[in-house]
Amino acid sequence: MAGEQRAQDDKRKALERPSPPAAAAPGRPPVKPSPATARADDPFPTIAPGTLNPVPPQPPRRRPGKPRTEPPRYRCLRCGYLLADTTVERCSECGWQIDPERLADWYLGDEEQRFARAVWFVLACLFTHLLALLPPLCLPARVATAFLVAWAGVVGRSGKQGSVGSYYGIAAMVAGGIMLLMAAAASSLTFYTADAIGGCLVLLTMLHDANGTPLGVARGSRMAALALLFVTPAIAVACYTLESAAPPAGWTSLFPAPYTPFGFVAPGVLAVGVWAFAWRTLAGVQHILFRQQDL
């Protein structure tokens, strides 16, 4: 019984087996089967590794905040000019002596990602400044601003340990701590002063590379940030003096209690101005060095 069943199975398999390819006609060379034909005829084709359900190659896609997946377009770190040939000694536009190690730091490291993060941090800071104008949201918005300033210092100084940029980053973190302590103070003068100083420090942290060398392409903004860093305490002292003096008649009704002209408005405008300046500078450097597509 078992032998009969086995014979029937063998007969059925023989019927299901594909017929062998037709022999070549006499006088004609045998036709070499194409790979597709060979796979169709071979019941157990050999599958090369990686050919089963192959994934089609995807074009490189760049997103802000992600490491670049395409060859970088090196630009002069002093003037932003596109360096088509990095083997030459100097930038043909401004004469900057090309430093391959610095270019590698800026274009093969995570500087593009760092700038993308910093721009978002600064935009978030500007947003929390707006929220702080609403009395119910003032305290949480100020606490959020303080954390953003401290975190921007952490992001800005990462990988720059022992250099000038690192020290500016630590100072920005301290400024964020002072802001946190003064978030609930009756007068906003100290908070906004630390706020403006923190904005200058975050900007200076970002405009120095890991070797402590300042970025030449934003030289003017760096000098302005340094000047603001020293002018802001003087402005704060002037505001404190004017705030302590008797207000002119009518000012109390024009500027009600927490929104005094020299305890809130002037330092607040200064702080928002500093952060707007920081955003403009960082976004400009990001565009010049990493996103510019011309020439």
- Nearest CB to Zn ion, comparing residues 91 and 203: 91
Between CA 217 and CA 289 the distance in angstroms is 9
Q: Would you count residue 79 as binding Zn ion (CB under 5 A)?
A: yes
Q: Would you count residue 78 as binding Zn ion (CB under 5 A)?
A: yes
Q: Would you count residue 96 as binding Zn ion (CB under 5 A)?
A: yes
Q: Which stretch binds Zn ion (CB under 5 A): 83-91, 115-123, 189-197, 206-214?
A: 83-91
- Nearest CB to Zn ion, comparing residues 76 and 183: 76
- Nearest CB to Zn ion, comparing residues 86 and 252: 86
Q: Given candidates 74, 75, 76, 267, which one binds Zn ion under the rule CB under 5 A?
A: 76
In a 10 Å sphere around its CB, with 0-12 CB exposed, 13-18 middle and 19+ buried, how is residue 123 labelled?
Answer: middle
Q: Would you count residue 93 as binding Zn ion (CB under 5 A)?
A: yes
* Whether 72 contacts 84, CB under 8 Å: no
Between CA 145 and CA 126 the distance in angstroms is 9
Q: Would you count residue 81 as binding Zn ion (CB under 5 A)?
A: yes
Q: Which of 107, 115, 204, 205 is nearest to 154 (CA)?
A: 205
Between CA 287 and CA 289 the distance in angstroms is 6
Q: Which stretch binds Zn ion (CB under 5 A): 54-62, 69-77, 135-143, 225-233?
A: 69-77
Chain position carrying tokens 């990095």: 86
CB atoms < 10 A from the CB of 225, how many?
Answer: 23
Q: Would you count residue 148 as binding Zn ion (CB under 5 A)?
A: no
Binding site for Zn ion (CB under 5 A): 76, 78-79, 81, 91, 93-94, 96
